[in-house]
Amino acid sequence: LTYVERPMESTLLVICHKHKRYNFNSKFGKALKKNALVFESKPLYDNQVPAWISAYLKSKKLKITPRASELIAEYLGADLSKVANELDKLAINLPPGTEVNDQHIEANIGISKDYNIFELQRALGQRDVLKANRIINYFAANPRKNPMPVLIGALYSYFSKVYMYHAAKNLPEKELLTTLQLRSNYFLKEYRATARNFPPAQAEKAITLLKEYDLKSKGVGYNNTGKPEGELMKELVWRLLH
């Protein structure tokens, strides 16, 4: 505290505080604000992570497809140190100017280009029973890589946007992208296609099912000992498609 109150002008001292906001009403905090430059880096919201990924790779002289940035964000979450570590693998292994796609992600980060949440969403949206079952069987066999909470969270967001699309589909495209929190027309095309297969009542039913299976995955709603996560996943997908 004494040093912070009277810092030496010739010294550069950096003090880091992680995990939660520092209390600047404390005596030390007030001294910092008075005598130092304070920078607060707030965590990103989940929907901000894909844009951050694109910007980070741009600083490494790489580009990335919208789908690929969404895929990384969905699987790695908003822990930017973890995301940056994985992106650095791409920067090391790919030549400058490369546009990162699903194949690069599978080869360097280990997220399957064929068996991932976005391919499952697309299969469900197209009501492609064979493909959806193939993917969910892969998920069920690899529950640690594809946990139920991540699956339900992603599908809930997906079908919520499908439901919102029906209410907002007559808006100008730019407003529609903002309403659905989509970064490009690339994703809007998919939601348009899914909305044709899931009219409002079906989209609402999907959301209700996801809430039900969220509770079941937490042990709520069973009179018996419960089912393994993998079986719940398969059952959920069957009910979404029938």
Q: Residues 45-59: pLDDT tens digits?
A: 888 999 999 999 999
Query: Which residues fall within 8 angstroms of residue 39, CB to CB, at 6 or more apart?
Result: none
Q: Residue 223's pLDDT is what?
A: 44
Q: Which fold has domain 46-108?
A: Helicase, Ruva Protein; domain 3 (1.10.8)
CA distances from 54 to 60, 130, 181, 228 (A): 10, 33, 16, 37
Same fold, 46-108 and 117-241: no
Tell me which CATH code domain 117-241 carries.
1.20.272.10
Q: With 60 as the cut, is the pLDDT of residue 229 above it?
A: yes
Q: Residue 238 and residue 132: Cα distance in Å, rounded?
A: 9
Residues 6+ apart with CB under 8 A from 1: 27, 28, 31
pLDDT, mean over the chain: 91
- Give residue limits of the domains in the chain: 2-35, 46-108, 117-241
pLDDT tens digit string along 127-176?
A: 999 999 999 999 999 888 889 999 999 999 999 999 999 999 999 999 99
Give the confidence band of 195 by pLDDT, cuts at 50, 70, 90: very high
Higher pLDDT, 164 or 76: 164
Token reading at 210: 């996801």
Task: Check whether 235 has a pLDDT greater than 90.
Answer: yes
Angular region, 226: left φ>0, alpha ψ -120 to 50, beta rest: left
| pLDDT classification of 224: cutoffs 50, 70, 90 | low
- The pTM for the full model equals 0.76
Confirm if 140 and 236 have CB atoms less than 8 A apart.
Answer: no
Higher per-residue confidence, 199 vs 35: 199
